[in-house]
Amino acid sequence: MQKKDIVMSGIRPTGFLHLGNYFGALRNFVRMQEEYECYFMLADVHSLTTHPDTKELAGHVKRVLAEYIACGLDPEKVALYCQSHVPETTELYLYLNMLAYKGELEKTTTFKEKARSQPDNVNAGLLTYPVLQAADILLHRASLVPVGKDQEQHLEMSRNFANRFNHRYGDLFPEPKAFNFGSGLVKVPSLDGAGKMSKSENQSATIYLSDSDDAIRKKLMKAKTDSGPTAPNTVKPDYIENIFQLMRLVSDEATLVSFEKAYDECRIRYGDMKKQLGEDMVKFIAPIREKAESIRNDEGYLRSVMEKGAAKAGASAAATMEKVRAAIGLKYY
């Protein structure tokens, strides 16, 4: 049998998963699990670089895990695990640090941004964040990494570290590449008309997988609109296009077409549209939220998922590290 390509991705458990995570990542992960050998990780160690206070960490980790499963990831098919449960990660991270240069780390966009936003805590972990990320990926010798655009630079650095290792110690790592299933990334716009939905920015403009039905309806009703087009077939302003885009994601075709038509004929009523979108969004989110809640409340099950994930990821990591130590020359007999 031909060996399956290896997929690896991670997410920092620092907040609540939202619709952007669902359409941008999770939905693709669920498709990938059928065709690839998949490692999906919660980057709890990475989160310490920006969130040293760990009061909420366990809660976030468990909820994200529950939400992953509720969205359709099957812990029997993929390795679903916490970064801190695979100690080989930190060993590889250390070796890769010797192949990473201070200059390139300082030039990394995310490092510069974070150094600016937390000037009192510009820790070395922040500087070497991309090295740890490379360790996550190379540990499984993954070649496919489903991530968003904001991670491209980190991925390029992972490729550089892999190539430097291969060059110095012999071919071991494939070059990891960004990977998006099918037709590329779906944009999930924020409700305030500014950018994408995001974990930390404007919470009232982001729909979370854990939002109550009421919260979803209220957020959608508050989305920015105007008094409507005054000439037929007008190009939509961004904030209106965003509402249509959300409708494309969760409503049925006939609903979408009827509002498109109403818009083109200048008889659209945004109040009605947002109400309809609210109902369709509730229908979409509620089953995920309810499933996630019931998984979240089953600590025994969550624990067994974590253990199984750690064992699968650990086996792959141990096999790679045997080869890494031998390649580097840290093996004397």
Residues that bind ligand TRP (CB under 6 A): 8-12, 43, 46, 133, 136-137, 145, 147, 151, 154
- Rounded CA gap, 75 and 64, in Å? 13
CB nearer ligand TRP, residue 27 or residue 275: 27
Q: Are 134 and 158 in contact (CB under 8 A)?
A: yes
Q: Where are the alpha helices (DSSP H) in 22-118?
A: 27-35, 44-47, 57-70, 88-97, 102-107, 109-117
Min dist CB 4 to ligand TRP, Å, is 18
The half-sphere exposure of 322 on its side-chain side, counting CA atoms within 13 A, is 5
Min dist CB 43 to ligand TRP, Å, is 4
Q: Are 66 and 152 in contact (CB under 8 A)?
A: no
Min dist CB 70 to ligand TRP, Å, is 20
Min dist CB 257 to ligand TRP, Å, is 36
CB nearer ligand TRP, residue 133 or residue 242: 133
Min dist CB 14 to ligand TRP, Å, is 9
Q: In what order do the strands lie in the sheet with 177-178?
A: 79-82, 37-42, 6-11, 144-145, 177-178
Closest CA to 260 of 281, 283, 285, 229: 229
CB nearer ligand TRP, residue 10 or residue 229: 10
Min dist CB 92 to ligand TRP, Å, is 12
CB nearer ligand TRP, residue 11 or residue 295: 11
CB nearer ligand TRP, residue 7 or residue 250: 7
CB nearer ligand TRP, residue 134 or residue 250: 134
Instruction: List the catalytic residues.
Output: 114, 196, 199
Scanning the structure block, which residue is given the tokens 């071991």?
172
Amino acid identity at 197: M
Residue 213, number of CB atoms within 10 A of its CB: 15
Q: Is the dihedral of CA 219, 223, 227, 228 positive or negative?
A: negative
State CA 16 to chain mean position distance.
Answer: 11
Scanning the structure block, which residue is given the tokens 């302003």?
237
4 contact partners, CB below 8 Å, separation of at least 6:
35, 36, 37
